[in-house]
Amino acid sequence: MKVLPILTYPNPVLHKISDAVTVFDKELEDFCTSLLVTMKSAKGYGLAAPQVGVLKRIIVVGVDEHPLVFINPEIISASEEMFPFREGCLSVPGYFESRSRAKTITLKYNGYLGVEHQRELSDVHAFCVQHEIDHLNGRVFIDDLSPLKKERIKTKIRKGK
């Protein structure tokens, strides 16, 4: 599988909402494998399909040696307890922000064959899944920052290219 180019902020594709996956075939499995290869190559903890220009509800998470693939992920419950972490993004290279997200989530998702599953995730896994699902909903983690801070980040990204 090949390494895919990762879109960087402020590419407008990053602010589009992704469509549900309805066809579960070998092409989907190959794309998911390419997402995993791309994430590992970029040394990221997660990657969402929109970050490589594909507006489908697919995310991969590689926090440890057991990478996870979630198709059509949906958070069905989240703890009130929060988990703090230094958040970054492959589409916003070189920028990190201390943030908190739900410590534990229950996720409903499809596997490669379209079978629906549920899984409870916590700590870094839960944090990363929440971050990647934001991408599927057209949100980048810096969207909540002030316009001035976002402009500085855009400038920094442009200079880094």
Peptide bond into 10 cis (omega under 30): yes
Give one word for 58, left, alpha or beta, with left for phi > 0 and alpha for psi -120 to 50.
beta
Strands 82-89 and 92-102: antiparallel
Write out the catalytic residue numbers.
Answer: 132
Residue 150: how many CB atoms within 10 A of its CB? 17
Half-sphere exposure of 2 (CA within 13 A, CB side): 4
Please give the distance of CA 130 from its chain centroid, rounded to a whole number: 8
Taking the C-alpha atoms of residue 133 and residue 58, their distance in angstroms, rounded to an integer, is 9
